[in-house]
Structure 1
Amino acid sequence: MDSVLLFFYRSPVFARTTLANMKFPQLLSLLLVSLAAVHAAPISHDEVVSNAAKGLRLLSLSEGADPVWKTPDEVLDLMRAGTKFFDVTEVFEDQKDWVKPEGKVMKSVEAFPTPSHQTSVKSIISTLSTSNMNSNLASLTAFNNRYYKSSTGASASTFIQSKVQSYIDTYSRSDVTVSLFSHSWVQSSIIAKIPGSTPSNPIVIVGAHMDSINLSNPTSGRAPGADDDGTGTVNLLETFRALLAAGFKPTSPVEFHWYSGEEAGLLGSQAIATNYKNAGKKLKAFMELDMSGYFKPGSKEVIALEADYISADLNTFLRALAAAYSTLPVTMDTPCGYACSDHASWYNAGYATSFPYEAVTGNDDPQIHSAGDTTSVSGFSWTHSLEFTKLAVGFVYELAI
C-alpha cells in the first residue's frame, strides 16, 4: 500500500487533489485502476528537473524506501519534528546505479593499525590550544547564522577558508591547499588537502559541518551553532593547525572537510561523497566530528561512539586511539538513526566511517537548532571538546603516517 500511495503522490491526479480530501469510493477506484502502474513509474530525469525547478525537494526518509517529493514547508515540518532525512535532489541521478551497503554496520575493506606513534602524537597533542578553539568559535558564532541559504552562511565558509589558508601561510606549507567546493546554494563546503608521499594510497578524511540553523526561522533567525557544529568545526581547525606546526608530512593523503547544508539533509557531504565515489577515489577511513562540547551536568563524561552507519573495525580502532590519547572512557551510544550526520553520506558510498559523539544520547546538548546554542550553556566544556581534538590528531597521524 505504501508504494501505491507513493504513486499517487507523484501522479497528475495528485496534482489536482489530495488523499486528504478524497472520499473513500474515489480513493478505492483510483487505487484499483492504477495498481498495475505502481511499479512502472520510476523517477525520471525530466521529473527531477521539473520538480526541482518548482522548489520541491526529493527526500529519502528511510532505508530501502523510495524517495518522495516534499515542499519546502513540508521539509521544515520534518526538521522541526526531528525527522532525519537525506535530501537527494542534487545527487539522485548520480547515485541511481549505486549498490549501497546492506544494514547499518559494515566490515571495512582496509585494515586499521594498533596505535604505535605515541611519542609523536602526544608531542603534537601537547601543542593543542583551547584558546585557539575558543577564538575561532567566537568568530563563527558572531555570524547571525550559518544557514546554507543565507549570506552569512556563505561568509562563514570564506572565513573558514581564510583561517585554513592563514595556517598554511604561517607554516610555509606551499604543498598544502584549501579550496571552496561550490554547490547550487550560496554556502560552499571547504576542503583542505595535505598531500601524501604515496599519492595512490587511500585518503584519510576528517569532517565536520559548518552550517547552523534556527528551526523557528531558518533564513534569518539567530543560530550561533556553538556546539552544533561549531565545536566540530574548530576541532578540525585546531587539528589542522597543530599538524602543520609539527611539520606533519604523511605517507597517505589527508583531507579536512567542512560541509555546507548538513542541517537540511546532509547536502554538502552527499555532494562530495558522491563526487569521490563516482570518480573512483579510495578512502582509508572517514571520521565525523559533529558536536563535542557538551555533556549533561552530573552525567558521566565519555566519548560516545555512534553505533549505526559505521564500520565496526573503525570503531574498534577509535577505542584504541582513545585509550592511547584521551583521558575519557569510550562507550557505545544508542544508534543515532537514519541520516543523523555526515558520516552517513560516506557510509552510503561504501566507505569506512565513524562518528565519536559528545555524550550518550539524552545527555547531549538540548539547546541545538536555536538561539540558545552558545558556550554559556551549563554543561559546555572546552576541556571536554579538547578530547575530541586529541582523537582527531591521533586518527590522522596513525592512519596516514
Structure 2
Amino acid sequence: MMFINSGLLAVAALLSSVWAVPISTQELSDMAAQGYRLLDLSPDTEPVWKTEAEKLDLMRAGIHFFDVTEVYDPTEDNSHATLSALAEKATFPSPSHSSAVTPILNTLSTSNMNSWLSTLTAFNNRYYTSTTGKQASQWIYDTLASITASRSDITVSKFTHSWAQFSVIVHVAGKSSGALTVVGAHEDSINLNSPSSGRAPGADDDGTGTVNLIEVLRALIAAGWQPATPVEFHWYSGEEAGLLGSQAIAQSYKRAGTSVKAFMELDMTGYFQPGTKEVIALEADYEDSGVTKFIQQLVDTYSKLDWAMDEPCGYACSDHASWYKQGYATGMLYEAITGEDNQRIHGTGDLTSVSGFSWAHSLEFAKVALAFVYELSA
C-alpha cells in the first residue's frame, strides 16, 4: 500500500476540481513523488491529480486526456490558449510531383510491413514502462539505423524520457534549410486489463502506423530521395497513457523555436469493418483545415481509395493533438469511420488474423504518407 501523508491528500482533494492558482514546482514534485499523475481532461478546465488506478479507470472508460505530469511547467502559460491559436491556416500547393512519387509508391512492400509487424507483435506488450516496451523501441531504433546506414545526411536518435521506453526520431537533412515536414506514429501498446504485464500485441494499434512509416522511409531511401527541406519520422512512446512521448517532443520543438511545415499522424491503418465502404478517414478536430485539405488532394491523387471525414475524435485522442496544442499545423489519417473501425484494440485480440484486417488497406495509408513527405519537402 502506498503511504500518502495527510497534507498531500488535502492537496489532492482540493485539486480534484479546478485550481484557483497555478501549480507550484514544489507541489508538482511532491505529488508526482507520491505516485499521482497530473491529467489535462479538457481545454476548459485546469489539470487534476489522479492516482494511477484512477487514470486507468479513465482509460478503460474511453476518456481521452493529456498526462502532463512530465511537461507541466509552472512558469509557462498553461491556459490552453494555444489550442485556438491557429488563426492563420496552413496553405499548400496542389500535389505536383506524381511523375517522381508514383514509381516509388509502386515499391512499397506489404511483405516488409508484415515481417516487421510480426516482430513487433511478438513482444508480450509494448507498454511504455515495461521491459518489453523498451525492447520494442530498441528494435525500432536498430531497424531504422540499419535502413539508413548508407546515408550520412540521415540521423537516427533516441528521445529519452523518465520512463523505460524511449521515442525514436529519424532526421533527414534537406538540401537547404527550411521548415520541417513531420510524420508520426506511436510505438507502444496496452492491455487495459493489465497494462504492465498483460499481453498486448498491438498489431493495428499502432503497429500498422509504425511499420507504415518504416516502409515509407525504406522506399524513399532505396529510390535515392533527397528532400529539398528537412523531414522527420517520429515513433512515440507512451501514447496510450496520455500522449506522453509526443507531448514531450512537441513541447521541446516549440521551446526551441523549431519551424514545422506540417505534422501528420498515422494511428491505426489496417482495418475496416467487413461490408462497409473502404475509405481513408480524416480526423475532423484538433487538425488544421489547410493540412486536411492537402491530405484530401493527396488521397485523390495517389490512392485508389476515397477519403471521408470522420466524426470528431475528441480531446487528446492521438499524437496529432500534442502538436496542435503547441500551435503547429496538423492532420491525421484513420483506418475507417468511427464505428466501422477496429474494436479489438487494447487487449489480446489486436492481431492481423482478425476478420477485417487488410494489408492492401494499410498499404493505401503508406502511399499517402509517402506522398505527404515527398510533396511537402520537394
Cα deviation 1:264-290 (Å, max 9, x = unaligned): 000000000000000000000000000
1:195–1:99 CA distance, 2 compared to 1 (3 A): farther
Match of 1:86 in 2: 66
Q: TM-score scaled by structure 2? A: 0.94
8 A Cα contact 2:131 2:164, kept in partner: yes
8 A Cα contact 1:181 1:189, kept in partner: yes
Match of 2:361 in 1: 384
Match of 1:183 among 158, 161, 165: 161
RMSD: 1.9
| 2:234 pairs with 1:252 | no
Following superposition, the deviation at residue 175 of structure 1 comes to: 1.5
* Correspondence list, 1:54-73, <5 A: 54-73=34-53
Following superposition, the deviation at residue 97 of structure 1 comes to: 2.5
Following superposition, the deviation at residue 57 of structure 1 comes to: 0.3
8 A Cα contact 1:104 1:308, kept in partner: no
Q: TM-score scaled by structure 1? A: 0.89
Q: Provide the secondary structure at the position in 2 that maps to 1:355.
A: strand
1:184–1:217 CA distance, 2 compared to 1 (3 A): same
8 A Cα contact 1:105 1:312, kept in partner: no
* Correspondence list, 1:89-100, <5 A: 89-93=69-73, 96-97=76-77, 100=80
Match of 2:267 among 283, 286, 290: 290
Cα deviation 1:233-259 (Å, max 9, x = unaligned): 000000000010011111110000000
Q: Percent identity?
A: 60
CA–CA separation in structure 2 for the residues paired with 1:306 and 1:317: 13
Following superposition, the deviation at residue 178 of structure 1 comes to: 0.4
Q: Provide the secondary structure at the position in 1 that maps to 2:371.
A: helix
Cα deviation 1:279-333 (Å, max 9, x = unaligned): 0000000000000000000011000100000000110000100011000001100
Match of 2:93 in 1: 113
CA–CA separation in structure 1 for the residues paired with 2:11 and 2:307: 54
Relative to structure 2, which stretch is displaced further, 55-64 or 221-230? 55-64
Q: Provide the secondary structure at the position in 2 that maps to 1:213.
A: coil
Q: Provide the secondary structure at the position in 2 that maps to 1:193.
A: strand
Q: Give the letter aligned to residue 238 of structure 2.
A: G
Q: Give the letter aligned to residue 144 of structure 2.
A: V
CA–CA separation in structure 1 for the residues paired with 2:267 and 2:12: 41
Match of 1:4 in 2: none
CA–CA separation in structure 2 for the residues paired with 1:392 and 1:193: 16
CA–CA separation in structure 1 for the residues paired with 2:227 and 2:331: 21
Q: Where do 5+ consecutive residues of structure 1 fail to align?
A: 1-10, 20-37
CA–CA separation in structure 1 for the residues paired with 2:13 and 2:181: 48
Following superposition, the deviation at residue 400 of structure 1 comes to: 0.2
Following superposition, the deviation at residue 42 of structure 1 comes to: 2.2
8 A Cα contact 1:106 1:310, kept in partner: no
Following superposition, the deviation at residue 15 of structure 1 comes to: 2.9
8 A Cα contact 1:206 1:286, kept in partner: yes
Q: Provide the secondary structure at the position in 2 that maps to 1:331.
A: strand
1:18–1:93 CA distance, 2 compared to 1 (3 A): closer
Q: Give the letter aligned to residue 287 of structure 1.
A: M
Q: Give the letter aligned to residue 183 of structure 1.
A: H
Match of 1:354 in 2: 331
1:17–1:319 CA distance, 2 compared to 1 (3 A): closer
More helix by share: 1
Q: Provide the secondary structure at the position in 2 that maps to 1:361.
A: coil
Match of 2:299 among 317, 322, 343: 322
| 2:132 pairs with 1:155 | no
1:77–1:138 CA distance, 2 compared to 1 (3 A): same
8 A Cα contact 1:181 1:188, kept in partner: yes
8 A Cα contact 2:209 2:269, kept in partner: yes
Aligned residues: 370
1:174–1:88 CA distance, 2 compared to 1 (3 A): same
CA–CA separation in structure 1 for the residues paired with 2:71 and 2:79: 15
Match of 1:141 in 2: 121
Cα deviation 1:210-235 (Å, max 9, x = unaligned): 00000000000000000000000000
Match of 1:195 in 2: 173
* Correspondence list, 1:5-84, <5 A: 12=7, 15=10, 40-84=20-64
CA–CA separation in structure 2 for the residues paired with 1:192 and 1:98: 30
Match of 2:347 in 1: 370
1:197–1:16 CA distance, 2 compared to 1 (3 A): closer
1:110–1:95 CA distance, 2 compared to 1 (3 A): farther
CA–CA separation in structure 2 for the residues paired with 1:95 and 1:375: 46
8 A Cα contact 1:297 1:378, kept in partner: yes
Relative to structure 2, which stretch is displaced further, 214-223 or 109-118? 109-118
CA–CA separation in structure 1 for the residues paired with 2:300 and 2:118: 31
1:61–1:100 CA distance, 2 compared to 1 (3 A): closer
Q: Which structure's CA Rg is the greater one?
A: 1
Cα deviation 1:37-86 (Å, max 9, x = unaligned): x8653211100011111110000001121000000100011111111000
Q: Provide the secondary structure at the position in 1 that maps to 2:158.
A: strand
1:95–1:359 CA distance, 2 compared to 1 (3 A): farther
Relative to structure 2, which stretch is displaced further, 104-113 or 152-161? 104-113
Match of 1:338 in 2: 315
Following superposition, the deviation at residue 110 of structure 1 comes to: 4.0
Q: Where do 5+ consecutive residues of structure 2 fail to align?
A: 1-5
Match of 1:224 in 2: 201
